[in-house]
A and B are shown apart, each in its own frame.
Chain A
Amino acid sequence: MSYQAEISRASPTAILMVMDQSTSMNHRLKSGQSKAAFLADVLNKTLYTIITNCSKADGVRDYFHVGVVAYGGEDAGNGFQGALGGEALHVVSRLAEAPLRVETRTKKVAGLNGDVMEQSVRFPIWFEPRSHGKTSMCAGLNAAIDVLGEWCAAHPSAFPPTVLHVTDGHPSDGNPEPMADRLKSLATADGGCLLFNLHVDVGQGEPMIFPNDERAIKDRFGKTLFRMSSLLPPHALEAAARKGYDIRPGARGFVFNAGIEAIADFFDIGTRPAVAADR
Chain B
Amino acid sequence: MPYQAEISRENPTCFLFVIDQSGSMDEITETGRSKAAFVADVLNKTLYTLVTNCSKADGVRNYFDLGVIAYGGSEVISGFGGVLSGDIVHPIHAISEHTLRVEERRKKMDDGAGGVIELKTKFPVWFDPKSAGGTPMRAALSKTIETVAHWCESHPGSYPPTILHVTDGQSTDGAPEEMADGLRQISTKDGQTLLFNLHVNTGGGLEIVFPISETGLNDEYSRMLFRMSSPLPAHLAKFAGDKGYAIADGSRGFIFNGDPQCIVDFFEIGTRPKLVADR
Chain A positions within 8 Å of B277 at CB level: none
Q: How far is the CA of A42 from the CA of B30 in the complex (A)?
A: 26
Q: How far is the CA of A205 from the CA of B114 in the complex (A)?
A: 22
Closest to A118 in B: B112
Cross-chain contact A204 with B114 (CB below 8 angstroms): no
Cross-chain contact A45 with B114 (CB below 8 angstroms): yes
* B97-119 vs A, Cβ < 8 Å mask (1 yes, 0 no): 00000000000111111111111
Main secondary structure of the interface of B (DSSP, over half): mixed
* Nearest CB of A to B103, in Å: 14
Is A114 in contact with chain B by the CB < 8 A criterion?
yes
Is B31 in contact with chain A by the CB < 8 A criterion?
yes
* Nearest CB of B to A43, in Å: 8
- Picked from B115, B117, B261, the residue with its CB within 8 Å of the CB of A203 is B261
* A107-140 vs B, Cβ < 8 Å mask (1 yes, 0 no): 1111000101000010100000000000000000
| Interface size bracket, B side | 20 to 34
Cross-chain contact B30 with A204 (CB below 8 angstroms): yes
Cross-chain contact A264 with B116 (CB below 8 angstroms): yes
Closest to A103 in B: B113
Known: A203-B260, A204-B30, A204-B260. A259 touches B113 (CB 8 A): no
* B27-50 vs A, Cβ < 8 Å mask (1 yes, 0 no): 000111000000000000000000
Q: How many residues of A contact B (CB 8 A)?
A: 29
Cross-chain contact A110 with B30 (CB below 8 angstroms): no
* Nearest CB of B to A259, in Å: 7
Is A260 in contact with chain B by the CB < 8 A criterion?
yes
Q: How far is the CA of A252 from the CA of B56 in the complex (A)?
A: 52
Closest to B31 in A: A204
Known: A110-B118, A110-B119, A206-B32. A31 touches B113 (CB 8 A): no
* Nearest CB of B to A263, in Å: 8
Chain B positions within 8 Å of A203 at CB level: 30, 259-261
Is B149 in contact with chain A by the CB < 8 A criterion?
no
* Nearest CB of B to A176, in Å: 25
Chain B positions within 8 Å of A202 at CB level: 261
Chain A positions within 8 Å of B119 at CB level: 110, 114, 116
* Nearest CB of A to B238, in Å: 18
Chain B positions within 8 Å of A64 at CB level: none
* Nearest CB of A to B91, in Å: 31
Cross-chain contact A260 with B108 (CB below 8 angstroms): yes
* Nearest CB of A to B262, in Å: 9
23 cross-chain CB contacts under 8 A: A33-B110, A38-B114, A41-B110, A41-B113, A41-B114, A46-B114, A105-B113, A107-B112, A107-B115, A108-B109, A108-B111, A110-B119, A114-B119, A116-B119, A202-B261, A203-B259, A203-B261, A204-B31, A206-B31, A206-B32, A260-B109, A261-B116, A264-B116
Q: Which residues of B contact A (CB under 8 A)?
A: 30-32, 108-120, 259-261, 264
